[in-house]
Amino acid sequence: MTRMAEPKHQNQGVLDSLVEGQKIPFGGNRWSAVSAKLSQEFRSGDSLVVVQDSGDLLHIPAAVADIANSAVAHARLAFAHLATIDANQITKFFDSFATNLQNDKIFLQIKAANDIDVDSATKRGRSVTRLHINDKMRLDMVAALHMWRDLPDSSSGSAESVSHDSWSVEAHKAPLGVVGFVFEGRPNVFADATGVLRSGNTVVFRIGSDALNTARAIMEFALVPALHENDLPLGCVQLVDSPERSAGYALFSHADLSLAVARGSGEAVAQLGAVARQSGTPVSLHGTGGAWSIVGQTADAQDLAHIISHSLDRKVCNTMNVCCVPLDRHDLLLSVLNGAVLAAKARQAKLIVHAVGAFTSQVLREMYSSTFLFDLVEHEEDDVLATEWEWDTHPEFSLRLVSDLEEAIELFNAYSPHFVLSMISTHQAEIDYAYQSTESPFFGNGFTRWVDGQYALNRPELGLSNWQSGRLFARGGILSGDGVFTTRYVMKQSDPQQHR
């Protein structure tokens, strides 16, 4: 008797519904339960992403997935097309995009859409610091596009060559593919991230719902016309036009992405990174920020006040978040606080100081026994040093008195995001010791706000990376458009009898 072969994958099928309380395994030996809300909203054709790191159950409606899939498909086709296009067309695209942003008639249409977004976000209590397109942001976007215009083509080129008797091997830079980009309400990122075209890549954006109207306007009135004008495929730059958070999950779980870049708040970025990594896509995450300043025994008190003030002028990822001061130098502590108060006064705001540890609180209360020039928030445990203060108007940072430099370094290595460290000292040996003893991709001896690709390196940045999850392999902490490439090897043979 002949036995019939059993069908393959007989215990598999298509997930078309979920039941409240249903256990979904993750991480090998754990499970998460389906909520009532998820079971009610999940429909046939939808997708469920199970984050293996955390057990988060992420619902992607079919309609949202279709939008992301279409954007990636168009970008993939454009990537193949881009390889046949004269690099000068890309140069002209950057110039056209910048010219459109400089055109007052065009910009008024973008500004009108941005005003709607800012008004809506303000009413919902959202931060609009990075959402609002003011004159400075407009100028910065134009400057970034001009930088890309003026950079030489970096989509190819020979890096090295190895010669043999009758043949050789050359290593060539090559474009990576489709870059997926998720960022919060930051319209300026359009100018930065289109830089991936300079290295022959295409890009798919997903912007936070706060800035979606602004993104649509930039695409319609400035970016797409620049693509048309220079005969570039429209798929070169795609917008996932959906306000749903799940659009980011759909984009980052797409198999055709070559790189996933995320910028925004730490928790959201970490979740997106996990989605991309478990989908097999390399990631570049730019979420957790907050710079640290360590004040050395030899710091100049007057210079210190200026450095602190210029490190707190606005809240971005490189803003000073924690400051460690020697406990026996009250003059330096006073300079730190004076500098911070100056930064708050410049914004016509009140300073918020988080005193970490009972001794720090005691010293501050003794120094300001009658009147505080700031709001004091007291914390007993050092673990609060890991908190990044997200402020919009009122400058806010943590202050910790330390017995010596070694204690400050121990705290930095234990609680910081391993991102930006400023060692403020006039003693080079002290600076060198801090550099050698800490883990941070960005280290300096002055204000913290220098950390920016465009400001520091004359390269518009896609984002900044910390070392919180380990050091970066083969590149620095600043990801720029012309740094998105891979390597191809070309063999050239002169002897047809070559044999191995």
Give domain status of residue 365, yes or no: yes
pTM given for the model: 0.84
Q: Rank 8-12, 172-176, 310-314 by mean pLDDT and report only the highest.
A: 310-314
Same domain assignment for residues 82 and 125: yes
pLDDT exceeds cutoff 90 at 467: no
Mean pLDDT over all residues of the chain?
A: 91
Classify residue 306: in a domain, yes or no.
Answer: yes
Measured from the Cβ of residue 229, the count of other Cβ atoms closer than 10 Å reads: 16
Three-state secondary structure call for residue 329: coil
Report yes or no: 61 and 43 within 8 Å, Cβ to Cβ. Answer: yes
Instruction: Let me know whether 409 and 353 are in one domain.
Output: yes
**Rounded average pLDDT over 327-349:** 95
β-sheet bridge partners, residue 422 = 293, 444
Count CB atoms within 10 A of the CB of residue 267.
11
Domain boundary among 267, 287, 307: 287
Whether residues 295 and 336 fall in one domain: yes
54 and 140, same domain (yes or no): no
- 234 shares its domain with 369: no
- 397 belongs to a structural domain: yes
Query: Considering the chain, what percentage of its residues have pLDDT values greater than 70?
Result: 96
State the CATH number of the domain containing residue 227: 3.40.605.10
What is the CB neighbour count within 10 angstroms for residue 300?
14
- Measured between alpha carbons, how far is residue 256 from residues 68, 110, 260 in Å? 11, 31, 11
Q: Does residue 261 sit within a domain?
A: yes
Helices (H) and strands (E) in the chain, counts: 16, 21
> Are residues 399 and 438 both part of a single domain?
yes
Q: Is residue 486 part of a domain?
A: no
| Strongest mean pLDDT among 2-16, 140-154, 161-175 | 161-175
Residue 443 has pLDDT above 90, yes or no: yes
256 and 306, same structural domain? no
Q: Which of 119-123, 135-139, 261-265 has the lowest mean pLDDT?
A: 261-265
Best CA proximity match to 254, nearest among 269, 235, 240, 234? 240
Residue 169 has pLDDT above 90, yes or no: yes
237: pLDDT strictly greater than 80: yes
Residue 345 sits in the same domain as residue 231: no
Tell me, yes or no, whether 461 lies in a domain: no
What mean pLDDT is predicted for residues 117-123?
Answer: 93
- Look at 52-66, 136-150, 192-206, 260-274 and tell me which has the smallest mean pLDDT: 260-274
Do residues 95 and 103 lie in contact, with contact meaning Cβ atoms separated by under 8 Å? no
H or E element, residue 297: none
Q: Which domain holds residue 33?
A: 23-60
Token reading at 270: 């970490």
* pLDDT value for 6: 56
Q: Is residue 187 part of a domain?
A: yes
Q: Which residue blocks in 46-103 are alpha helix, DSSP H?
A: 62-82, 87-102
Are 108 and 256 within one domain? yes
Per-residue confidence (pLDDT) for residue 1, from 0 to 100: 44
Together in a domain, 235 and 100: yes
List, for residues 407-426, the tens digit of each pLDDT value: 999 999 999 999 999 999 99
Residue where one domain finishes, among candidates 38, 60, 82: 60
pLDDT digits 0-9 by tens, 5-33 = 555 666 788 999 999 999 999 999 999 99
Q: How confident is the model over 313-327, as a mean pLDDT?
A: 95
How many folded domains does the chain comprise? 3
Least confident of 82-91, 186-195, 205-214: 186-195
| Cα of 442 vs its chain's centroid, Å | 15
Which residue is it, tokens 């199970």?
50
Which residue has 């400058």 as its token pair? Answer: 395
Q: What is the per-residue pLDDT for 474? A: 64
Mean pLDDT to the nearest integer, 452-470: 80
Let me know if residue 72 belongs to a domain: yes
Domain boundary among 245, 270, 287: 287
284 neighbors 101 (Cβ within 8 angstroms): no
> Are both 270 and 299 inside the same structural domain?
no
Average pLDDT over residues 128-148: 90
Same domain as 333, residue 308: yes
For residue 218, the one-letter residue type is: I
CATH of the domain at 423: 3.40.309.10
Confidence of residue 484 (pLDDT cuts 50, 70, 90): confident
Is residue 147 within 8 A of residue 458, CB to CB? The reply is yes
